[in-house]
Structure 1
Amino acid sequence: MFESQCVPFENGKISVLKIREGEVDEINSKQFNHLIYIASGRGQLLREGKQIPIVEGKGFWVSGENVIISNSPNLLTVYCLQIKGLPSVPLADQSPAKAVSLWEEAINLQKGQSFSERCRYQAAVWNLLSFMTDQTEVDRIEETMEMIKNHLSTPFSVTELAGKAGMSPTYFSRTFKKRVGMTPKEFLIVERIKVAKKLMVQNKGVTTKDVAIQVGLQDEFYFSRLFKKKEGVAPSIFMKRSKERFAVVSQMFLQDHFLSLGIRPVVAPAYPTVFPSSNGVPSYLEKKLEGTLLLNAEKTFLPEEILQVQADWIIKTPLHNGQLQSILLSHQQKVVQIPFKAGWNEYLREIALLIGEEGKVVAIEKEIDSLENKVKNDLSPMLKKGSWAVIWIRQNEIRLYGRKNHAFFDLFYQILGFEPHPELPEEGYQKISLEQLASLNSDKLLILWSQETDVWRVAQNKEWQNIRAVANGEVYYPKSYDWDPWGPLGRKNMLHNFSTSLESSKLVY
């Protein structure tokens, strides 16, 4: 029971986190656990290696170390209540219109010092907890969604779903569509298609009939029509794209190159903490990789994970610390080792040769050359004077990047023609202090891939004002989380909006 797991909140405090887009904040629950409530915005909660979407109206019990990332243009506002013990009582989704006033009332009361004021604070906290654990229509709709996902082969009628949610069929249908954006029948179809794609990509030799049955459709012809209507191609064509089954075992996004050549890999790397809101990959790859088994490249790859999908080929690049050498011993005939290469198109050519798609390379390179020339022309006024330095401001360091042997900087300096500061490293990066950055005396400064909280923390430092680019108002901070011109798709994605993004991204204090 709830009462047996919690003590009175004599030492519990309520605080509020306000996190701007791209910022990160932490909740460390050591002495206390926490109840958190999302009052506005959206983002990701990272805990115990898992990514949990957070949206307005949601509440969570959390313990241990937790990271909250905002990916909302609106301010992400999170209320936090310290609590001893971790209750098992489920939390209800609650509208901020009702919830925020209760949180704010408790915050105001916790300032009191007298016995009477502390009593009123305790009462306000219990009132808040009562409200946060009061199940609502939203919770019942979400429970229904989970039930549909977990029972795809069961064709629940609207009447049955409404009964389980404790609503009339008409009211349930209206409430479900308002909450989910589609009818229960449409939601079932979307979930069936998602699972079907996973089955087709990750299971060698599976047939359309097998897939149809596993997603709850006995008629494979109806399933084929449904799939083609939703995905634009028949299941047979979708599976043909993965007929030669390639597993990408790399800490680089080689899946970008495969996808540009019309091949969906059955296994590919992902970075869940770098791209928390798009399944661990850049957003422009997320939809294209539906069905692919995504491996966490931030950890050691496990051979059994890779081998379970029965890939025909394992495409491997050198890994840190010599990972996965065992996979080479027992599967020599299936493994292709691609050494590190200087340019993105060198990987493209080798992969195209491997899969027999050399004819597509010329067209891809021509399209990208055209985009690069357009961007160079668009940015010609910015190229005429002044030297540049590019930095990545991280939580505990600042990285100053060199001028070559990196996909972005080869593009930025050599192809687009930005002038590098003469004292930049030749390649790679070096960690520098603000004093060292100021002594560099670069005319212009470009900040890439950095979280807003880290940028503003550094910008508050007095040494920041000694940087020439800062004094001249020539610091550029575009939204560059997805900028990765290392593969054809990433390169095109970046080039399509690079000119306007850069020109409009001057840092304003």
Structure 2
Amino acid sequence: MTYNPLDEVKHSHITLVRVSEGTSETINQLGEYNGLIYISSGTGYLQSGREERKLVEGKSYVFTRESKLISSSSQLFHVYILFWHKSDTEFAFLSSVRLAKQVPAKVTPLWKEALSLQGRKSYSEICRFKSIIWELLSMLTESSKVDEMDEIIENMRNHLVKPYKVCKLAAKANMNPTSFTRAFKKKVGISPKDFLIRERIRVAKELMVQNKGITIKEVALKIGMQDEFYFSRLFKQKVGYPPTVYMKRAEERIAIVSQMFLQDHLLSLGIQPVAAPAYPTIYSTSGGIPRYLEKDLVGTRLLNAEKAFQPDEIMQTLPDRILKTTLHNGETQSVLLSHEQKVEHISFKANWNEYLREIARILRKESRVDNIEREIEILENTVRDQLCPLTKRGNWAVIWVRNNEIRLYGYKDHALLDLLYQKLGFNPHPNLPKSGYKVISVEQLVYLQCDKLLILWSHERDVWKLAQSKEWKMMKAVKDNEVYFPNSKNWDPWGPLGRKKMLIEFANTFQKSKVKLY
């Protein structure tokens, strides 16, 4: 029988998958292959069934069934994949070895070369293809001190009940205790001891929010502390109040089923929800929520609002009550019909404080609302007076520059636009849409001839790309150097906490956000 070297490679192949922001790509659709993926650029998630793994640039991961690549990156998500048939044992070892992090500049050229050689017929090209695959695997399984440190950190997170000594951790990393502590602090920002305390406090919060009826003693034991009184003192020292007070924040267990951040309203009323919506592709660096909510929602189960809500995931949090707004996707409207007795339906409201008042009424917290509204109103008036000389001269337009479109916003029926035009005194261009937004071309933006332009929520790369067009330089606001581009990625004034955060940042940074984009 004649030997054919193609038989060596026919059960394996490589591919490059490109996933744009907010989209996904299904891989291994029939489940016939195992695979190794390498993240060449961007960040995202690998979803297999109900399991989700975060994907980080420079890292490799193994999968064994049909999966979905989800981009959470504002840049194009590049993923190289090595597939091998389940019947092939050549690469089976990858499932049981530690995969090293390698910078894309070092390994991406090899992936590209392998792709160019794939499917070639000559012996030399087939041998070169196989050689590159094994060279890649050699690099991706090469241990380093960085990988050892990552493994130690992950192990500490996953085994908080174990007593850790710096000398033993250092030995695992083949370092002396002083060098290890220095390297650990450089990587994490705090010492190993402080990191362990921080992680134990974080998990304690999760346990108190997610486990109905759990005691302080049980929480302490589950995070490796035998003395509940020491735990209580430590918790109060780090958080600012004792665990008994923290537990009362979620005493009535509230789940939010909405595509709005109603958790902002709840937190302002002193209540932490057991479940709340998140947008992992929009807020990819802070767990799917604006950064200002991150600290106060430790322990809350974050529900992916970019896809249909799963009733089982919500009910696993054992909510006493569910606050639900109308959802955008018609097929998910009846998602909780079997638990209708627990659901409080909240209709669409035009203003942020109408949601606050409705939620406060449902939860009998009306006494807190007036003070919250008064504080926000005082802040709005202060910022309006501060910016009045700038906002009253000339007419304004607000745009969001996205990867493949420009959105021109109207002047009402949107929390942020109402804040700008109704509360802070910005003078709207007469030809803006009345409400919502419309997608326009750069030529239409030029034709608008606004005096001043405010760019919100946009990625720098997309804005600079737009600014390279010849049409951009013809805009009146650009010619007059009246383009403002503040760091607004976390601005969401639909709730009192987000509104307050935005107003403070707006007052401090807006006048400095003027940029020359030409």
Aligned with 1:336: secondary structure?
Answer: strand
CA distance in 2, matches of 1:478, 1:6: 56
TM-score computed with the length of structure 2 as normaliser: 0.79
CA distance in 1, matches of 2:324, 2:134: 56
CA distance in 1, matches of 2:168, 2:224: 17
Q: Indicate yes or no: 2:334 matched with 1:325.
A: yes
Paired position in structure 2 for 1:473: 481
Count of aligned positions: 484
Opposite residue 505 of structure 1, the aligned amino acid is K
**Conserved? CA contact 1:35–1:81, under 8 Å:** yes
CA distance in 2, matches of 1:102, 1:344: 49
**Conserved? CA contact 1:284–1:490, under 8 Å:** yes
Change in Cα spacing, 1:54 to 1:413, as seen in structure 2 (3 Å) is same
Aligned with 1:346: secondary structure?
Answer: helix
**Conserved? CA contact 1:477–1:507, under 8 Å:** no
Change in Cα spacing, 1:324 to 1:478, as seen in structure 2 (3 Å) is same
Paired position in structure 1 for 2:88: none
Report how far residue 156 of structure 1 moved.
3.7
Comparing 218-227 with 260-269, greater Cα deviation is found at 218-227
Paired position in structure 2 for 1:442: 450
Paired position in structure 2 for 1:242: 250
Opposite residue 448 of structure 1, the aligned amino acid is L
Report how far residue 399 of structure 1 moved.
1.9
Report how far residue 52 of structure 1 moved.
3.1
Q: Indicate yes or no: 2:385 matched with 1:377.
A: yes
Q: Indicate yes or no: 2:425 matched with 1:417.
A: yes
Paired position in structure 2 for 1:206: 214
Q: Indicate yes or no: 2:286 matched with 1:271.
A: no
1:335-414 correspondence runs (5 A):
335-414=343-422
Q: Indicate yes or no: 2:502 matched with 1:494.
A: yes
Paired position in structure 2 for 1:228: 236
CA distance in 2, matches of 1:6, 1:454: 44
Change in Cα spacing, 1:166 to 1:6, as seen in structure 2 (3 Å) is farther
Paired position in structure 1 for 2:43: 44
Comparing 142-151 with 118-127, greater Cα deviation is found at 118-127
TM-score computed with the length of structure 1 as normaliser: 0.80
Aligned with 1:364: secondary structure?
Answer: helix
Aligned with 1:277: secondary structure?
Answer: coil
Comparing 464-473 with 232-241, greater Cα deviation is found at 464-473
Paired position in structure 2 for 1:153: 161
Identity fraction in percent? 51
Opposite residue 44 of structure 1, the aligned amino acid is T
**Conserved? CA contact 1:260–1:488, under 8 Å:** yes
1:68-147 correspondence runs (5 A):
69=73, 88=94, 90-93=98-101, 130-147=138-155
**Conserved? CA contact 1:6–1:85, under 8 Å:** no
CA distance in 2, matches of 1:469, 1:400: 15
Q: Note the residue ranges of structure 2 that are not aligned, 5 or more in a row.
A: 1-5, 29-34, 86-90, 117-123
Partner residue of 1:282 out of 284, 290, 314: 290
**Conserved? CA contact 2:36–2:60, under 8 Å:** no
1:57-72 correspondence runs (5 A):
67=71, 69=73
Opposite residue 260 of structure 1, the aligned amino acid is S
CA distance in 1, matches of 2:154, 2:7: 28
Paired position in structure 2 for 1:20: none
CA distance in 1, matches of 2:71, 2:162: 37
Change in Cα spacing, 1:439 to 1:177, as seen in structure 2 (3 Å) is closer
CA distance in 1, matches of 2:395, 2:100: 55
Partner residue of 1:506 out of 498, 509, 515: 515
1:247-258 correspondence runs (5 A):
247-258=255-266
Give per-residue Cα distances to partners, 1:24-78, cap 9 Å, x unaligned. Answer: 799999999864568xxxx7344449573647x766789985647379xxxx9x9
Report how far residue 132 of structure 1 moved.
4.8
CA distance in 1, matches of 2:355, 2:134: 60
**Conserved? CA contact 1:47–1:67, under 8 Å:** no
CA distance in 1, matches of 2:502, 2:241: 27
**Conserved? CA contact 2:396–2:451, under 8 Å:** yes
CA distance in 1, matches of 2:172, 2:153: 11
**Conserved? CA contact 1:102–1:128, under 8 Å:** yes
Partner residue of 1:305 out of 308, 313, 318: 313
CA RMSD of aligned residues (A): 4.1
Opposite residue 281 of structure 1, the aligned amino acid is I
Paired position in structure 1 for 2:32: none
Aligned with 2:357: secondary structure?
Answer: helix
CA distance in 1, matches of 2:8, 2:454: 50
Aligned with 2:472: secondary structure?
Answer: helix
Partner residue of 2:201 out of 172, 193, 204: 193
Report how far residue 353 of structure 1 moved.
2.4
Aligned with 1:247: secondary structure?
Answer: strand
Change in Cα spacing, 1:46 to 1:306, as seen in structure 2 (3 Å) is closer
CA distance in 1, matches of 2:8, 2:264: 50
CA distance in 1, matches of 2:350, 2:7: 59
Aligned with 1:295: secondary structure?
Answer: strand
Report how far residue 283 of structure 1 moved.
0.5
**Conserved? CA contact 2:46–2:69, under 8 Å:** yes
**Conserved? CA contact 1:270–1:280, under 8 Å:** yes
**Conserved? CA contact 1:444–1:475, under 8 Å:** yes
Give per-residue Cα distances to partners, 1:381-430, cap 9 Å, x unaligned. Answer: 21232111112222333222111111111111111111111121211122
**Conserved? CA contact 2:80–2:111, under 8 Å:** no
Change in Cα spacing, 1:316 to 1:433, as seen in structure 2 (3 Å) is same
Report how far residue 494 of structure 1 moved.
0.7
Change in Cα spacing, 1:174 to 1:408, as seen in structure 2 (3 Å) is closer
Comparing 139-148 with 410-419, greater Cα deviation is found at 139-148
**Conserved? CA contact 1:37–1:59, under 8 Å:** no
